[in-house]
Structure 1
Amino acid sequence: MKRIDINATALGVSVLQLMEGAGHALAGVIRRYNPARILFLCGSGNNGGDGMVTARLLAHEADVTLLYYEGRRMSHACRLQREALLHCAV
């Protein structure tokens, strides 16, 4: 996956755009199950950022709980996604 990310960014797709795409894709899969409650466990890297995007997208459709590990090395993109979550009811 790292090689795909590198190639995508070389073609002008930003890390944030990749995260949004991953979050939308995962949210679509989760919506098929129509859950009432969802728990997200996210790390501090870009995969954690993907989870945070998904949590944000589903925040108004289900009871969403998000636990994340901030750590010392939270990626910049993950940090931006966390900031976006501050404006949601997660």
Structure 2
Amino acid sequence: MIRSELVAAVAEMHPHLSHKDAERVVATVFESIVQALADGRRVELRGFGAFSTRDRDARIGRNPRTGEQVEVDAKRVPHFKAGKELRERLNPGG
């Protein structure tokens, strides 16, 4: 599912919202998650999962085109852990 399909699903599920309002809802949710992660906070959506960040150390990488070694800076990367209900819906009976 892509973002436009998500907006369409929200608009369909809530007919009192215009398409533009549904876009604002989706954008606000995404922006809130991104801002919380940027601030170093964790975002937990019960039954769905939790978004957090992980630190990656600096390392020596390799340019795949030339084979040349390059330095890769330390960075924070997003991480998602699926919640119990999501895992159970993906793997019923198991």
Q: Which has the larger radius of gyration?
A: 2
User: Is the TM value for this pair above 0.5?
Assistant: no
| Structure that is richer in strand per residue | 2
